[in-house]
Structure 1
Amino acid sequence: MQIATTFRHMEPSDALKSYAEEKLDRVKKYIDEPIVAQVFLTVEKIRHSAEVTITAKGITIKAAEETNDMYAAIDAVVDKIERQLRRYKERIKEHKPAASDSRDRQVRKTVVAAESIDQRQEPVVIKSNTFSIKPMSVEEAVMQMDLLHKDFLVFTDAGTEDISVIYRRKDGNYGLIEPTKG
């Protein structure tokens, strides 16, 4: 497991770093290698917060906790990550995924130079992200969207190999946007 620890508004501490690494070793039993974890430890006045992002084998899980003790914040965030991974693993066991294509597609967006934004009258794209689109079923896409705490997810439907979008509706249900041919 690769763990990168970042300290914000505090002095780097080997004790805190090793404590976080020791606690994160518990998640290995839920997901396969390779695992990349990013730990952000922040102190703002009396508020101590720990934020963890774990990426492994096509899934990304994020969690954050705040307390007035850094060790308690690390414990709480690792417990939250463990709960999310346990729930994810149980859902995977309940659901047998369709035969997926091993190809992951890359989606790219273009960005307009920042200097030209002020001169333009029409709206422009300010931010651009590049991400992999993993072939998955609609149920898997809903699980991944929930794990990432996002409002929508672009994915390749494993059955049709078309790019689709799953999104969270205001009423709490989900919507699915599928392309039509013709």
Structure 2
Amino acid sequence: MEIVVVGRHTEVADRFRQHVEDKLAKVELLSPSVQRVDVEVTHENNPRLADRSERVELTVRAKGPVIRAEAAADDRFGALDLAIDKLNERLRRARDRRKDHRNNSVLAPVDVRPYEEVAEPAPTATKAEVSAPAALAEAGDTVETTLGDSPVVIRQKLHHAEPMTIDDAVYEMEMVGHDFYLFIDKETARPSVLYRRNGWTFGVIALDSPCTGAPLG
């Protein structure tokens, strides 16, 4: 199992790298097919975020869905512990799903109606334009651009996509710990977004233009 530790806006000391390897030793027990674990450490310079200035994101790449967990704290060792707790829980759930792949348990209801809540309008840019991003060539590539002369930073990342069912999208979203998940619907070939509503209900928003060449079934 390869462990890759990188820092964003910060240096990562050898002592912390060794601590990461010790803490991630159990990952192979929960996910025998794991090939690589990416560890991203981010430091936030904003004094208002001092209690969560250190963020650690863990990404497990194996034969199956990508499993991710992240956490923030006032020091990176504490953030790592919190992130690993989340990661181990998701790895256990993925392991149980593999063992019980024939289980036909009903997932939480999915609401496919358009989202009805009115969101506050986002700030509009008048004269500023988004800087042209560098090419995103391979899955996993990330690039950050700025909105003109403003302090707004836009982070773009390229992901590999396989058409999947809504049930699979719910599972994948739970594995990465996000409140939304972008996917290609296997039945309609439409780009779709699954998002969490209240409690254990979800919503799906789909575009009316199917992806060219996406397989159906």
After TM superposition, the score normalised by the length of structure 2 is: 0.55
Q: Distance in 1 between matches of 2:13 and 2:191?
A: 45
Q: Distance in 1 between matches of 2:203 and 2:130?
A: 33
Q: Distance in 2 between matches of 1:67 and 1:113?
A: 32
Q: CA deviation at 1:11?
A: 5.5
Are 2:70 and 1:63 aligned?
A: yes
Q: Distance in 1 between matches of 2:97 and 2:193?
A: 18
Task: Compute the RMSD of aligned alpha carbons.
Answer: 3.8
Give the aligned partner of residue 54 of structure 2: 49
Q: Aligned pairs, how many?
A: 156
Q: How does 1:83-94 map to 2 (within 5 A)?
A: 83-94=89-100
**C-alpha distance 89-163 of structure 1, shift in aligned 2 (>3 A):** farther
Identity of aligned residues (%): 22
**C-alpha distance 12-177 of structure 1, shift in aligned 2 (>3 A):** closer
**CA contact under 8 A between 2:184 and 2:191: conserved in structure 1?**
yes
Task: Decide which moves more: 127-136 or 53-62.
Answer: 127-136
* 5+ residue gaps, structure 1: 98-111, 119-125
**CA contact under 8 A between 2:58 and 2:69: conserved in structure 1?**
yes
SS of alignment partner, residue 52 of structure 1: strand
After TM superposition, the score normalised by the length of structure 1 is: 0.63
Q: CA deviation at 1:85?
A: 1.4
Deviations for 1:115-135, whole angstroms, at most 9, x for unmatched residues?
7x98xxxxxxx8754322124
**C-alpha distance 71-128 of structure 1, shift in aligned 2 (>3 A):** closer
**CA contact under 8 A between 2:182 and 2:192: conserved in structure 1?**
yes
Deviations for 1:127-169, whole angstroms, at most 9, x for unmatched residues?
7543221243322210111222042321342xx4734524225
SS of alignment partner, residue 134 of structure 1: coil
SS of alignment partner, residue 136 of structure 1: coil
Give the aligned partner of residue 29 of structure 2: 29
**C-alpha distance 161-53 of structure 1, shift in aligned 2 (>3 A):** farther
Q: Distance in 1 between matches of 2:77 and 2:196?
A: 37
Counterpart code for 2:162: K
SS of alignment partner, residue 167 of structure 1: strand
Give the aligned partner of residue 132 of structure 1: 160
Deviations for 1:30-54, whole angstroms, at most 9, x for unmatched residues?
2213223123164868756341221
Give the aligned partner of residue 202 of structure 2: 174
**CA contact under 8 A between 1:50 and 1:77: conserved in structure 2?**
no
**CA contact under 8 A between 2:37 and 2:59: conserved in structure 1?**
yes
Deviations for 1:8-29, whole angstroms, at most 9, x for unmatched residues?
6766422211011111121122
Q: CA deviation at 1:59?
A: 1.2
